[in-house]
């Protein structure tokens, strides 16, 4: 594996961090397997591409992408809590609907972002590579600090308790349904931010870019937990960092498989197999620990 | 004051599994009352508590809190005045959250959960002082996740948590049935003290007949969803364990 490959994986891993955080919120905090992710990720890319090509500042475009993702998540949350539809099914419903919505918004299957301003060249100095890395690192620091503050706040405690013991938080005056809707909105907002970054990074938005992406987010969360082990329980920062590192390692694992000569057509198969491998290793570890 | 007016609650209504959990209950609970509720399994004791908590609305009849009809109020809305202790000692706390975070949530039972950090040194001291009363050494473990504690410890903390914020009513549904005798004693004494100190209205559902003698000022005996017998404060003073035992075997 050459260094360029590693670097690409590192950059992708960082750009995918929002996706990891999204899955962390929906799956780990709320215990909801949220498939809306596939749709809201593409929505993030689509909204960003439309905004940037119509002259809107990349940061504003990202903000709007995040809001769009949050609205998508809110829809899933409302379907799940108000219509009592299974969370998985609610996610599939919204994801399916988003496919058409993305196509309608974009007006065509993909939109290139060539010679347009982008998040990755906002910094006025340095080489293209250093600009990208500094922007990404800054973005991640802001994400980490914001998320940590949110999760440590009184609101965040109620949010984390909701996924942990629903009956108890209800007895403590928390509206569980509202909490879930907000949680899914937040999760999909982060996911859409990730879609926005990837669209700008690869230079195009594509309505198919979200297919199967939920597995990448899952891979990031699980990889992080597998590598960091039990210490993630101690501190939210560590858990979030684990998700971030997990995402980067996950990208590297895929890049490694591809550079070892795997056919790119097998990309999704490889992705799924890596996730499966992480789960299997986790189970074996648990057994040997008993 | 809580008033039950002809309240009935049926589960699986119209199905083969239909259960008439509570039938035509009329009951007035005054402030300062500590009612011990006994009865066989399935006699409607827990349903009575759940109706007060608002876990589900009554099917028939009206429920009043201080003369205000609360039929439509949901559980999280009623939580402003109600604290609960469940049968499962693990169900009153969030396992993955730390002790201090659980207490923070409890302290905010009646107020909004804002996006600001509420756990500061002052709050930690307040919780620590309170936990010290248990004599379990937990005041040094504020940042430990709840799941590392025993059932008895968690139930004791749940009880303390109920007093972190204003509370008028304490509902206890067999709070000690899963605990060993020592923990049971600690929990029940703690509950008694808290109820007296905070002048709470309390309901205790129990299978231990001697609780009827030891605690509370009124005893309700339930059977098939109805109140079979009631002992007022005066009657309770002369109540003997044997009388209750006979009543149950009859």
Domain ranges of chain A: 3-211
Tokens coding A272: 């799924």
Can you tell me the mean pLDDT for B207-219? 88
Across the range A65-85, mean pLDDT stands at 97
- A174 closest CB neighbour out of B76, B97, B116: B76
Question: Which of B84, B105, B117 has its CB closest to that of A152?
Answer: B117
The DSSP code sequence of B6-24 is: EEEEEESTTSTT-EEEEEE
CA distance A99 to A124: 36
Dihedral angle sign, alpha carbons of residues B125, B126, B131, B133: positive
User: Taking Cα atoms as reference points, which of A191, A195, A215 lies closest to residue A46?
Assistant: A195
Q: Which of residues 62-101 of B touch A (CB under 8 A)?
A: 75-77, 79-80, 82-84, 86, 91-97, 101
What is the reported pTM? Answer: 0.86
Average of per-residue pLDDT across A76-103:
96
Q: Is residue B111's pLDDT more than 90?
A: no
Structure tokens at A223: 């990889």
Partner residue facing B80 (CB), from A154, A157, A173? A173
More confident position, A138 or A281:
A138
Q: How buried is B73 (Cβ within 10 angstroms: 0-12 exposed, 13-18 middle, 19+ buried)?
A: middle
Asked if A158 lies within 8 A of B108 by C-beta distance, the reply is yes
A25–chain B nearest CA distance, Å:
14
The confidence band for A1, taking pLDDT boundaries of 50, 70 and 90, is low
Per-residue pLDDT at B60: 92
Residue numbers in B near A165 (CB within 8 A): 91, 93-95
Q: What is the largest CA-CA distance in chain A?
A: 59
pLDDT band of residue B27 (cuts 50, 70, 90) is: very high
Q: Which residue has the tokens 């340095």?
A: A126
Look at residue B250 and tell me whether its pLDDT is greater than 70.
Answer: no
Question: What chain B residue is nearest to A150 in terms of C-alpha separation?
Answer: B115
Mean pLDDT of chain B: 89
> What is the pLDDT, as a whole number, of residue A290?
64
In this predicted structure, the answer to whether residue A38 has a pLDDT above a threshold of 90 is: yes
- Identify the pLDDT of residue B208: 86
Q: Compute the half-sphere exposure of residue B167: CA atoms within 13 Å on the CB side of its CA.
A: 31
CB A28 within 8 A of CB A222: no
pLDDT confidence of residue A134: 93
Which are the contacts of B120, defined by CB distance < 8 A and separation ≥ 6?
A: none
Question: Which band of pLDDT confidence, cut at 50, 70 and 90, is reported for residue A157?
Answer: very high
Q: Which 8-state DSSP code applies to residue B72?
A: T
Residue B109 and residue A158: Cβ atoms within 8 Å? no
pLDDT averaged over chain A?
Answer: 92
Convert the pLDDT of each residue in A98-133 to its tens digit: 999 999 999 999 999 988 999 998 888 888 889 999
Q: Does B102 touch chain A (CB under 8 A)?
A: yes
Residue of A nearest to B101 (CA): A157
B94 and A161 in contact (C-beta within 8 Å)? yes
Domain boundaries, chain B: 97-166
Q: What's the whole-number mean pLDDT along residues B203-228? A: 90
Short-list A242, A267, A246, A272, CA closest to A256: A267
| Residue B6 predicted with pLDDT over 70 | yes
């Amino acid at each position: 594996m050459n260094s360029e490959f590693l670097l690409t994986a590192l950059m992708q891993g960082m750009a995918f961090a929002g996706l990891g955080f999204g899955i962390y919120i929906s799956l780990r905090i709320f215990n909801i397997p949220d498939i809306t992710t596939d749709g809201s990720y593409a929505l993030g890319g689509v909204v960003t591409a439309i905004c940037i090509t119509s002259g809107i500042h990349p940061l504003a475009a990202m903000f709007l992408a995040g809001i769009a993702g949050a609205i998508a998540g809110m829809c899933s949350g409302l379907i799940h809590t108000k219509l009592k539809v299974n969370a998985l099914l609610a996610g599939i419903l919204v994801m399916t609907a988003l496919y058409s919505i993305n196509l309608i918004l974009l007006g065509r299957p993909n939109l290139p972002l060539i010679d347009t301003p982008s998040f990755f060249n906002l910094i006025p100095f340095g080489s293209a590579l250093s600009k990208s890395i500094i922007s990404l690192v800054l973005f991640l620091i802001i994400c980490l600090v914001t998320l940590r503050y949110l999760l440590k706040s009184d609101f965040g405690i109620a949010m984390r308790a909701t996924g942990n013991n629903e009956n108890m938080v209800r007895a403590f005056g928390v509206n569980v349904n509202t909490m879930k809707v907000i949680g899914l909105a937040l999760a999909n907002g982060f996911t859409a931010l990730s879609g926005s970054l990837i669209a700008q990074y690869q230079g195009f938005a594509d309505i198919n870019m979200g297919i199967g992406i939920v597995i990448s987010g899952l891979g990031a969360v699980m990889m992080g937990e597998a590598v960091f082990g039990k210490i993630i329980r101690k501190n939210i920062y560590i858990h979030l960092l684990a998700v971030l590192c997990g995402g980067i390692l996950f990208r590297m694992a895929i890049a490694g498989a591809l550079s070892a000569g795997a056919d790119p057509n097998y990309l999704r198969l490889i992705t799924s197999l890596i996730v499966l491998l992480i789960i299997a290793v986790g189970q074996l570890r648990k057994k040997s620990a008993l | 004051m809580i008033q039950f007016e002809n309240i009935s609650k049926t589960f699986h209504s119209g199905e083969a599994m239909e259960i008439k959990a509570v039938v035509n209950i009329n009951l007035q609970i005054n402030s300062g009352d500590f009612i011990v509720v006994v009865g066989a399994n399935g006699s409607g004791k827990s349903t009575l508590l759940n109706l007060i908590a608002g876990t589900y609305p009554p099917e028939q009849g009206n429920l009043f809190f201080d003369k205000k009809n609360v039929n439509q109020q949901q559980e999280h809305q009623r939580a402003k005045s109600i604290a609960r202790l469940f049968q499962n000692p693990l169900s009153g706390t969030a396992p993955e959250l730390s002790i201090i975070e659980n207490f923070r949530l409890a302290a905010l039972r009646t107020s909004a959960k804002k996006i600001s950090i509420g756990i500061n040194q002052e709050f930690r001291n307040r919780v620590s002082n309170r936990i010290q009363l248990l004599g379990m050494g937990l005041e040094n473990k504020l940042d430990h996740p709840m799941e590392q504690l025993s059932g008895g410890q968690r139930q004791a903390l749940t009880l303390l948590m109920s007093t972190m914020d204003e509370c008028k009513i304490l509902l206890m549904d067999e709070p000690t049935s899963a605990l060993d005798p020592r923990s049971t004693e600690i929990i029940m004494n703690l509950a008694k003290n808290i109820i007296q100190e905070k002048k709470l209205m309390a309901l205790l559902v129990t299978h231990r007949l001697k609780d009827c003698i030891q605690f509370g000022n009124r005893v309700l005996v339930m059977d098939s969803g109805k109140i079979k017998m009631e002992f007022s404060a005066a009657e309770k003073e002369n109540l003997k364990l044997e009388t209750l035992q006979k009543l149950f075997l009859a």
